[in-house]
Amino acid sequence: MTAKRLQELALKKQLLQHQSAVLRYSLAHQSSATLAPALRMVDRVHQGGRWLAAHPAVVVAVAVWLFRRRPQRLLAWGTRALWVWRTWRQLQPLLVGKANT
């Protein structure tokens, strides 16, 4: 190849890299604006879970209060909660694995 052709290719490469960077920035900006409400909700749920983990006595007190008021309903909700927890525990490795790839 001639020196002129190599220079043209290098210039085209730089142009394509610049366009790619602009497109990546645009995509990141649009994605963050679109996903921001959902990500805020996930953050709030996560903070709530951390608060509950730090205050187990509150969870126990609410469970006892509910059990005294309506035992069958509490057992039904407890069964559902256990199912959701087990399902989450089974799906979490799959979701984390997909997020890393």
Tokens standing for 44?
Answer: 């709030």
pTM for the whole thing? 0.43
**Residue holding tokens 């069964």?**
79
For the chain, the farthest-separated pair of C-alpha atoms sits apart, in whole angstroms, at 88
pLDDT tens-place values along the chain, 101 residues long: 799 999 999 999 999 999 999 999 998 888 777 878 888 888 998 998 899 899 999 988 988 887 788 888 878 888 999 999 999 899 888 877 665 55
Both tokens of 75, joined, read 């057992």
**Cα 87 to Cα 90: distance, rounded to the nearest angstrom:** 5
